[in-house]
Structure 1
């Protein structure tokens, strides 16, 4: 990206989330609750001494559920003259979404935690009681889900002159949970999943209007790559 390298670029990326940052750990490939921790976070895992796992018929209670739009990719400004044309610059990834769970207590299936969060928020439409019983195998409950390709093919086009920036984003959903078993055992934790992907185009030479949430995201993109003081950065 023009004029943004190394540490300054990383600092800029940290500013594009539209809510407080979320810290979590991703599940292991076998989803046995034993994924390795990162950044010192606790991960639900079986005790080496007892191999204790949580009950399979417990109840989830969710609190503090919120959504965060995060910028995942962006291009440098691409200048087009009168009449516009096709945009050819490729997006560079600035953030990779992950399905993730952190928890303290007996081991839980990460897929079941995410399935519960998905049903609680309406992102998963299923009559199944558990992820194991869900024939649709919704991607929201897939702990090994990969981030979407930012450049899957095809191009966007604009019909006017300007300095255009393409960006991509995802909407993360996060919440705190308590998993309660009949024997009085509780597992406490935090889960993050992502469901919605989107994209947009801004013109550095024009102000950004529209839905407040979308406007804030677009202005965050403008702040990263448009010239300081450009119309698109004003009000950010």
Structure 2
């Protein structure tokens, strides 16, 4: 599927918040767990602040987030009116099997590993600045905000997507304690335009064709 692709945002933006497996990472030393508001006397496990990340199985993947139904335009083209329907909602995700640093620190390390963050700082706290890649409160990119206007007749489909980056991590403390986990985020969102008469030439293009071109 050849066609027009327009980058809608620059690298480094993130969306939403989905953080799991980090419930044991909060609380300071000496605090106790509570059970329905009652002290249990059991100390809360916390992550060390001076550990080292090791990343593996780093992947980057374009994901389709929205697609419209086909729409035929006459001579000279014009504005597309069919809205895109959402097919996937990307979300940053951090999972760990034990006490780990904050999700922002983990995403900071992932961003450096993936080349999305250029910093010599060892941690986000030491960096003294922030990056949108580490912000787990960003909303998902909206659809239909970057409408493409074809300049010729044809039957068009508009679509949107994001590029996701994901990897496994191991966090090792100086005393030998380790925690393993997985982190994911997206780095850029894009909009594209194609039609059902063009042969798909990418995974995203093939999914567009399957969702909007094949008979129900």
Partners of 2:147 and 2:190 lie apart in 1 by 15
Q: Which runs of 5+ in 2 are unaligned?
A: 1-16, 26-32, 34-41
8 Å contact kept, 2:200–2:209? no
Deviation of residue 127 (structure 1)?
2.7
- Structure 2 match to 1:218: 205
- Structure 1 match to 2:197: 205
Partners of 1:128 and 1:77 lie apart in 2 by 48
Partners of 1:89 and 1:172 lie apart in 2 by 26
Which structure has greater strand proportion?
Answer: 2
Question: 1:164–1:61: structure 2 CA closer, same or farther, 3 Å change rule?
Answer: same
Partners of 2:128 and 2:211 lie apart in 1 by 42
Q: Which moved more, 1:83-92 or 1:111-120?
A: 83-92
Q: Which protein has the larger Cα radius of gyration, Structure 1 or Structure 2?
A: 2
Partners of 2:64 and 2:112 lie apart in 1 by 25
Alignment of 1:155-170 (within 5 A): 155-170=147-162
Partners of 1:46 and 1:52 lie apart in 2 by 6
8 Å contact kept, 1:202–1:208? no
Deviation of residue 218 (structure 1)?
1.2
Deviation of residue 134 (structure 1)?
3.3
CA RMSD of aligned residues (A): 2.0
Deviation of residue 50 (structure 1)?
1.9
Partners of 1:148 and 1:132 lie apart in 2 by 27
**Partner SS for 1:133:** helix
Instruction: Using CA pairs under 8 Å that are at least 6 residues apart, name the structure with larger relative contact order, 1 or 2.
Output: 2
**Partner SS for 1:156:** coil
Deviation of residue 135 (structure 1)?
4.2
Alignment of 1:130-145 (within 5 A): 130-145=123-138
Deviation of residue 46 (structure 1)?
1.9
**Partner SS for 1:46:** helix
Residues 1:44 and 2:13 are matched in the alignment? no
Deviation of residue 114 (structure 1)?
0.6
For residues 196-218 of structure 1, give each alpha carbon's deviation from its aligned partner in whole angstroms, at most 9, with x where no partner exists: 11111111123345xxxxx2211
- Structure 2 match to 1:99: 92
8 Å contact kept, 2:24–2:46? yes
Partners of 2:91 and 2:200 lie apart in 1 by 29
